[in-house]
Structure 1
Amino acid sequence: MELLEILGYVGGLLIGVVLGLIGGGGSILTVPVLVYLLAINPVTATAYSLFVVGTSSLVGALRNIPKKLIDFRTAIVFAIPAFLAVYLTRKYMVPAIPDEIFTISGFTLTKDIGIMLFFAIIMIIASISMIMGRNNGTNLPEAEVKYNYPLIIIEGLVVGVLTGIVGAGGGFLIIPALVLLAKLPMKKAVATSLLIIAIKSLIGFIGDVQNMEIDWVFLLIFSGLSVGGIWLGVFLNNFINGQKLKKAFGYFVLIMGIYIIWKEL
């Protein structure tokens, strides 16, 4: 086994550790780990990422059910447009993107480069959300849960399409939406977002199963490491300040996003 491959599997474990420590954000590293350390094609990497993210989020959601932190009605309202959008994106939109999008002055923007550049932009937006965490609705007073259905449906569709293209969970978009649009308390918003991410990611992955050959042995090993990392992260959470770590991780994601843009261009 080569060094990069070993680092790739270690990366899978770290993705889970970050999820366990700060409750989200770790999934944004899945595609870079798969592409740059394990040499997996970006389109396949975004598909595998959906499965890894979905499985990890499902484990997190199941842990929150006994604590009664999940608002199932909100999850259903948000998840239906989201999983429809992510499934259709993976089944039809991603395969429809041409292998060569355009050529300018000798530079050809291929499908793979385009996906990685778009992913890098999402990473940068997510990093700013983590660094500026206080602006995501956490300071709002708790209120009775109520629904702005049109905006929740639109947000679900947008998050679904983004998830379908880049294979990330989109928690940095979902959590503020649940706090601001459904008036959920922050702890419930985080827990409910995990269930939404699990549903839409795993259903989106079904679109890929219908389109490509899946290396199930690799995928289950990598996902197992990420799930194991969650439990390790939850344990480490007793000794590490999650909020400080989240901001530091945000800066790391920002650097990674800029690096991907530099590398691909």
Structure 2
Amino acid sequence: MTSSLLLALIIGLGVGLVVGALGAGGGILSVPVLVYILGMEPHAASAGSLVIVGLTALVSLIPRSREGFVRWKDGVVFGALSTVGTFAGSRLSGWLDARVLMLLFSALLAVVGVVMLIKALRPTEVSHAPEQRSIMKLLLCATATGFLTGFFGVGGGFAVVPMLVLALGFSIREASSTSLLVMIIASSVGLLSRIGSPVSVDWLTVLIFAAASMAGGLMGAPLSRRVKASTLTLIFGVLLLAVAGFALVQTLWF
């Protein structure tokens, strides 16, 4: 096994642990890794990361469903409503310069990271009553999340978790669990939307990365039960800011 494939195996395991524990983070980690460490072109990395995130979310969903935190109906509805945005974002992404794509990626992660840190440091009680969540808000949140998923090719967990927590009133455990279902739907649509596009993916590296990430996902899910919800939110926010800073520095100076 070459050094790059071994590196993909090791890092993939770590990415899976993050996805399993937080219900997000796979794409925001795999895209920079595929681009800056494994040398993939950004558009190819975006496509490959959808495979990695979708498969990892699939195996990570199994233990989460047994714990009872997955809100299946809300997840399917949110995922279905996000498909139009995912398709549009996937098509638009292909027209954008790779450098600009990574700069926008960094900016978005920084904004979401700050919002999640505020949520973690100043937690508030949120009502979970379905009647208080309007259909329009659900439609707008799902479409916006789908667009970001398709545009950046990151599976959507980085956007789904904050949307479910901040806009729709989910607890962090419900959001991190239900987001896995949404990520499976969004990743599938994102991949289908890229059919016919001139993107060449290194499938061997992607599949090795995905296999290791799936193994990590199964190991990461039990970790979420041992950590407080506010701590999970804080970790997620810090993770987003760290990746945003890394991607920004690499894009501007290297």
TM exceeds 0.5?
A: yes
Matched, 1:116 2:102: yes
**Stretch moving more, 12-21 or 205-214:** 205-214
Is the 8 Å Cα contact of residues 93 and 101 (structure 2) preserved in structure 1?
A: no
Is the 8 Å Cα contact of residues 145 and 183 (structure 1) preserved in structure 2?
A: no
Aligned residues: CA RMSD: 2.9
Which entry has the higher C-alpha Rg, 1 or 2? 1
Q: Whole-Å Cα distance in 1 between the matches of residues 164 and 232 of structure 2?
A: 23
Aligned residue in 2 for 1:77: 77
Q: Deviations over 1:186-217 (max 9, x none)?
A: 43333222111110112111122332344433
Aligned residue in 2 for 1:188: 174
Q: Kindly tell me: are residues 130 and 3 of structure 1, through their superposed partners in 2, closer, same or farther at Cα, counting changes over 3 Å?
A: farther
Q: How much has 1:35 moved relative to structure 2?
A: 0.4
Q: Which amino acid aligns with 2:216?
A: G
- Given the two structures, how large is their TM-score scaled by the length of structure 2? 0.83
**Stretch moving more, 154-163 or 23-32:** 23-32
Q: Whole-Å Cα distance in 2 between the matches of residues 203 and 238 of structure 1?
A: 30
Q: Whole-Å Cα distance in 1 between the matches of residues 138 and 2 of structure 2?
A: 46
Q: Kindly tell me: are residues 239 and 42 of structure 1, through their superposed partners in 2, closer, same or farther at Cα, counting changes over 3 Å?
A: same
Q: How much has 1:58 moved relative to structure 2?
A: 2.1
Matched, 1:22 2:9: no
Is the 8 Å Cα contact of residues 124 and 257 (structure 1) preserved in structure 2?
A: yes
Q: Whole-Å Cα distance in 2 between the matches of residues 150 and 174 of structure 1?
A: 17
Task: Write the mapping of 1:1-265 to structure 2, written as runs, cut at 5 A.
Answer: 3=3, 6-90=6-90, 92-97=91-96, 111-134=97-120, 139-146=124-131, 147-179=133-165, 181-211=167-197, 212-235=199-222, 244=231, 247=234, 250-265=237-252
Count of equivalent residues: 250
Q: Whole-Å Cα distance in 2 between the matches of residues 120 and 163 of structure 1?
A: 14
Query: SS state of the match for residue 247, structure 1?
Result: helix
- Given the two structures, how large is their TM-score scaled by the length of structure 1? 0.80
Is the 8 Å Cα contact of residues 5 and 37 (structure 1) preserved in structure 2?
A: no
Which of the two has greater helix per residue? 2
Q: Which amino acid aligns with 2:118?
A: M
**Runs of at least 5 residues in structure 2 that lack an aligned partner in the other structure:** none
Q: Which amino acid aligns with 1:57?
A: A
Q: Which amino acid aligns with 2:98?
A: D
Q: Whole-Å Cα distance in 1 between the matches of residues 156 and 121 of structure 2?
A: 16
**Stretch moving more, 17-26 or 180-189:** 180-189
Q: How much has 1:142 moved relative to structure 2?
A: 4.5
**Stretch moving more, 126-135 or 195-204:** 126-135
Query: SS state of the match for residue 65, structure 1?
Result: helix
Q: How much has 1:245 moved relative to structure 2?
A: 6.7
Question: Percent of counterpart pairs with the same letter?
Answer: 28
Is the 8 Å Cα contact of residues 130 and 246 (structure 1) preserved in structure 2?
A: yes
Q: Whole-Å Cα distance in 2 between the matches of residues 125 and 95 of structure 1?
A: 23
**Stretch moving more, 255-264 or 242-251:** 242-251
Q: How much has 1:94 moved relative to structure 2?
A: 2.3
Q: Kindly tell me: are residues 84 and 135 of structure 1, through their superposed partners in 2, closer, same or farther at Cα, counting changes over 3 Å?
A: farther
Q: Kindly tell me: are residues 177 and 170 of structure 1, through their superposed partners in 2, closer, same or farther at Cα, counting changes over 3 Å?
A: same
**Which runs of 4 or more aligned residues in structure 1 lie more than 6 Å from their structure 2 counterparts after TM superposition?**
238-242
Q: Which amino acid aligns with 1:121?
A: A
Q: Whole-Å Cα distance in 1 between the matches of residues 167 and 93 of structure 2?
A: 29
Q: How much has 1:251 moved relative to structure 2?
A: 3.4
Is the 8 Å Cα contact of residues 57 and 217 (structure 2) preserved in structure 1?
A: no
Q: How much has 1:185 moved relative to structure 2?
A: 4.4
Is the 8 Å Cα contact of residues 61 and 177 (structure 2) preserved in structure 1?
A: yes
Q: Whole-Å Cα distance in 2 between the matches of residues 183 and 116 of structure 1?
A: 30
